[in-house]
Amino acid sequence: MTLEAPARDRAPAAAPLVLVERLIFRYPNGHQALHGIDLRIDPGEKLALIGPNGAGKSTLMLHLNGIHLPAEGSVAIAGIPVTRQNLGRIRALVGLVFQDPDDQLFSPTVYDDVAFGPIHMGLARDEVEARVARALEAVGLAGLERRQPFHLSLGQRKRAALATVLSMSPQLLVLDEPSAGLDPRGRRELINLLRSLDQTLLVSTHDMRLVAEVFPRTVILDEGRIVADGPTPDLLADAALLERHGLEMP
């Protein structure tokens, strides 16, 4: 049965990784992007965030690592409130991967980009090298450490951008439209990669086939409100629900 409500009918875990309560957000121009969001994500969940353009998806995601700070309501990651005083701790827990990988790749080589975070964490050289190796292996780019990022394909650049976040060992990965612009091979590689990751995932996407193949739980956001939250097969089978919120069946 499709749920058209923010709450989920299930026993809560002892400690959520993400807890958003009554979150309201207005931009400086007065536009209210979020209207009382309540969201709980438990450790290990893979959750898709879908909705039409302008629904507030990006605004919500930017609250999870403190790019936006709660003005009304609250956001907590692993029990730590997202506040200005806690930004360092929050950003160590939450890895944000933008839609355009060129927003995150700025160094002369892939190695330099992936090593940037661990180096600025003050880690020893051996640990930095180990983290870079693990991250590149995880995204299928081992052996490309010395390549220049702009010589990579779009799919490879997207995976390199993800590696820059994985090298920080975050507990939560937040990805914005990860399959946008990928050809079928790149998309299949992305699906396999997302399935293989151990981290908790929150992914905003318009790719309904990606949602169906990877994410057991889906949240629909529209006009700054959560209008549905439930098992992905149930929501994606509800044609009327999807049509009401500008979405298509996969």
- Residues spanned by the domain of 206: 18-244
pLDDT of residue 14: 63
Total of domains in the chain: 1
How far is the CA of 31 from the CAs of 4, 21, 53, 54, 224, in angstroms?
A: 25, 20, 15, 11, 11
Q: Please determine, for residue 8, whether its predicted confidence score (pLDDT) is greater than 90.
A: no
| Alpha carbons within 13 A on the beta-carbon side of 23 | 31
Contact 165, 131 (CB under 8 A): no
Interior/surface letters 155-171, b for 16+ CB within 10 angstroms, e for the rest = bbbbbbbbbbbbbbbbb
Question: In angstroms, rounded to a whole number, what is the distance separating the alpha carbons of residues 36 and 72?
Answer: 9
In a domain, 123, yes or no: yes
**Domain presence at residue 160:** yes
Residue 29 CB neighbours (<10 A): 5
Reported as a single tens digit per residue, the pLDDT across 57-111 is 999 999 999 999 998 999 999 999 999 999 999 999 999 999 999 999 999 999 9
pLDDT value, residue 250: 86
| 249 found inside a domain | no
- Distance, CA of 130 to CA of 128 (rounded, Å): 5
Q: 30 lies in a domain?
A: yes
Single-letter amino acid code for the residue at 177: E
For 116-152, what is each residue's pLDDT tens digit? Answer: 999 988 999 999 999 999 999 999 999 999 999 999 9
Residue 176 forms part of a structural domain? yes
Predicted model pTM: 0.88
Percent above pLDDT 70 for the chain: 94
Average pLDDT score, the chain: 92
**What percent of the residues of the chain are helix, what percent strand, and what percent coil, each to the nearest 5?**
35, 25, 40
* Domain CATH for 234: 3.40.50.300
Q: How far from each other are the two terminal CA atoms of the chain, in whole angstroms?
A: 18
- Phi first, then psi: give them for residue 125, nearest 5 degrees: -55, -45
Residue 221 resides in a domain: yes
CA distance 113 to 167: 10
Percent of the chain with pLDDT over 90: 87
The yes-or-no verdict on residue 3 having pLDDT over 70 is no
How much is the pLDDT for 71? 87
